[in-house]
Structure 1
Amino acid sequence: MTESIADPAPARRAGRTRGPSLGDVAAHAGVSTQTVSRVANGLTNVEAATRDRVLASMQALGYRPNRAARALRSGLFRNIGVVMFTLSSYGNMRTLDAIAVSAATAGYSITVVPVEHPTQQDVSVAFTRLLEQAVDGIIIVIEAHIVDRADVELPSGLSVVVIDSTERPDYPQVDTDQAEGARQATEHLLSLGHETVWHISGPAESYSAARREQAWRDTLEAAGAPVPEVFRGDWSTTAGYGYGREIAVRPEITAVFAANDQMALGVLRALHEAGRRVPDDVSVVGFDDMAESDSFWPPLTTIHQEFEATGRRAVELLIAEIEGRPEPVRSSVLPTRLVVRASSGPAPA
């Protein structure tokens, strides 16, 4: 006798339960489905007490608004794409954190696509991936000159804001005043009596590094000071340490401006190991004002830039574009300030 085997599919199907509906939430909260819909879509024409009651019912029932259906109704996915190069860098991570917090506060989520190499192909692939993720707009934080290239086409039909990577006038931009920060650092060291200031730059392809280097050079020339050769770094502590070892054996170098705090930290270590005193023998200034820079030894004189403000402003500009209320000011340049600590001092006698 052949034993029949029951089809398990009906049991599986019977075991499935649908999620709570808009109507379930309305019944639980004692309101209309239209009211629940307004709360779910973030509309403001609902009394605060009613909104709280609806939100409590959503939480109690485990209700999750249907994002796809909401997008069909409103035309918005409430999702922001972020294309970012060098996720490991201090500045980029601080900026990304600010973007995520600001987007969430405004009722948007973010989708991040890292770019491993700042090439035309990698950037184009990142744009394609984001378009597949149903985003309403894109924030670009690439830092390299790649966005300025004519063969790089930014997504059409989407709102775009660029941070620290372009001189293109066709998109809103947000940046720190890189040139002013480098000028402040260089003038500070010259004011302490140093004959000139040596510079450890960021990588050649970096937009911000290029502006800091040019401002350093312009400041020295305006002061009539010699313009030394540039040490070409890569933002890493390792690069700063390597150049710091060279600086340590060159007594003519008494003042160093590193293009970021991480390279400045490497310089401090190399000088300490070589027995060169900071700032008695060599003054060191960084750029970024990392949270830890006041705990370096000695505490680091540096240029403070507002990563959080940069991220917030980029989100503000992008959402304004997405929601059809673009601001008249399409570019924002945020100020820097010199933070003087113990790593800079008068030139040696």
Structure 2
Amino acid sequence: MTVSNVVNGNLGRVSPATAATVERIVQERGYVPSGPAQSLATRRTRLVGLLLPARDGGISLLGSPHDVSVAGALEAGLRERDHHLMLRAVQDAREVQDSVQRWNLDGVVVMGFTDDELRALDLPEDVPTVVIDASADGRAGAVRTDDVGGGRLAGDHLRALGHRRVVFCGPTDSRSPVVAGRLAGLRDVLGADPVTVVARTSYEDGLAAGERIAREHPSATAVFATADLLAAGIQAGLIRAGRRVPQDVSVLGFDDADLARYVSPSLSTIRQDTAGKGRAAAELLLRLIHGDNPRDRVVRLGVELVVRESTGPASVD
């Protein structure tokens, strides 16, 4: 039973020294446990579902650099503990129940939904659950970035550069707590409501938004976008419309995705630890699956300002 407990992850029943000895012998002999046998012995499948919003047109579920980074780190964290990740797009509570029951999932991670959408999904109470970038009830765990703090960092940076006419650009019509938090933080620093321009989180929408900002808000000296992918498009749209970045308009993103370093001019941004978000979600979910019942089920990750070429002093009229 000692070997079985170690192989099946029941480390609470085995001393650390014994567990280390068993794991060393297992590695030396190249032993690979049978998945079906483990499922029968533990009544667990070691399958975790990552549930994402179904997108129109059947396009990729991981539609942004943020989602790709979080999902990759989540998968790696689960794989290190011999668990496996399954991606599934869902639209309603019926599809959630179908995913959990059909695949007999040990746990669920939910990403990309607003608080209202999460409530409508009616997540099963008997399945360990972690939500990313949304509010959780007392039963589920939650991992999120300090979005309000990120908005304040953005406001502090732009104000220090002399910017007062700032445009906030993102999916402000989505009721997303992420977007709302970043806008609230920016508003706290600026002391007034910035002009808001609605745009989906895509390069193409950013391109159109940049041209629209140049046309409809010619006095704006800075734009704060809710994601680097969007900010890169906005920057290109402004340049296409004849505005210089940052001499005429500064552009500030959020995430610190790889593309922020590759576009020209390179993007100033608010860095969030997307890989850390995925790892934290994996760790928290595994604790819930194994009955650790952590007292603090909310993980909040910090942010930092990264200054590159796309922000500069406000232009003087």
Q: TM-score range by the shorter chain?
A: 0.7 to 0.9
Match of residue 16 from structure 2 = none
Structure 2 residue 87 is matched with structure 1 residue 112: yes
Report deviation, 1:188.
Answer: 0.8
Alignment partner of 1:247 is 2:216: no
What residue is the counterpart of 1:214 in the other structure? Answer: 184
Q: Counterpart in 1 of 2:289?
A: 322
Which residues in structure 2 correspond to 1:14-163 (within 5 Å)? 41=8, 44=19, 46-47=21-22, 50-55=25-30, 58=31, 65-85=33-53, 86-115=61-90, 117=91, 121=92, 123-149=93-119, 151-163=120-132
Q: Tell me the CA shift for residue 203 of structure 1.
A: 4.8
State how many pairs are aligned: 299
Structure 1 or 2, whichever has the larger Rg, is 1
Alignment of 1:238 onto 2:204: yes
Q: How far apart are residue 217 of structure 1 and its match?
A: 2.6
How far off is 1:342 after superposition? 1.0
Q: Distance in 2 between matches of 1:153 and 1:299?
A: 42
Residue deviations 1:253-280 (CA, integer Å, cap 9, x gap):
1111011111111111122222311111
Q: Work out whether residues 114 and 126 of structure 1, in 8 Å CA contact, stay in contact via their aligned partners in 2.
A: no
Distance 1:167 1:191, change over 3 A: farther
C-alpha separation between the residues in 2 aligned to 1:89 and 1:210?
A: 19
Write the letter of the residue equivalent to 1:192.
L
Q: 2: distance between equivalents of 1:50 and 1:199?
A: 57
Deviations 1:114-158 (A, max 9, x none): 23x5xxx2x441332132102111111133233453x54211211
Q: Answer 1 or 2: which has greater strand percent.
A: 2
Instruction: Report what 1:260 is aligned to.
Output: 227
Q: How far, CA to CA, are the matches of 2:172 and 2:95 in structure 1?
A: 23
- SS of alignment partner, residue 265 of structure 1: helix
Cα shift readout 1:190-232 (whole Å, capped 9, x = no counterpart): 11111231110225223312222232233322xxx5x343101
Q: Distance in 2 between matches of 1:233 and 1:129?
A: 31
What is the CA–CA distance in structure 2 between the aligned matches of 1:289 and 1:253, rounded to whole Å? 23
For the Cα contact (< 8 Å) 1:80–1:135, is it kept in 2? yes
The 1-side partners of 2:23 and 2:80 are apart by 18
For structure 1, the 5+ residue unaligned runs are: 1-33, 59-63
Q: CA 1:54 to 1:38, structure 2 compared with 1: closer, same or farther past 3 Å?
A: farther
Pick aligned residue for 1:311 from 275, 278, 281: 278
Query: Cα distance 1:45–1:284, how it changes in 2: closer, same or farther (>3 A)?
Result: closer
Q: Aligned partners of 1:331 and 1:83: how far apart in 2?
A: 19
Give 1:35 deviation, angstroms: 8.7
Task: Name the structure 2 match of 1:31.
Answer: none
Q: Take 2:47 and 2:118, find their aligned partners in 1: how far apart are those partners?
A: 26
| Match in the other structure for 1:301 | 268
After superposition, give the CA deviation of every residue in 1:68-93 in whole Å (9 maximum; x if it has no partner). Answer: 33222123222212112342122111
- Residues 1:73 and 1:84: Cα distance change in structure 2 (over 3 Å): same
Question: RMSD between aligned alpha carbons?
Answer: 2.3
Question: Aligned in 2, Cα 1:271/1:320: closer, same or farther, shift over 3 Å?
Answer: same
Q: TM-score, normalised by structure 1?
A: 0.79
Match of 1:172 in 2: 141
Q: Would the aligned equivalents of 1:102 and 1:312 in 2 still touch at CA under 8 Å?
A: yes
Indicate which of 243, 249, 273 corresponds to 1:276: 243
Contact 1:198 1:253 in 2 (8 A): yes
Q: Deviations over 1:24-70 (max 9, x none)?
A: xxxxxxxxxx7985775467364566323431xx5xxxxx6432332
Question: How many Å apart are 1:297 and its aligned residue?
Answer: 1.0
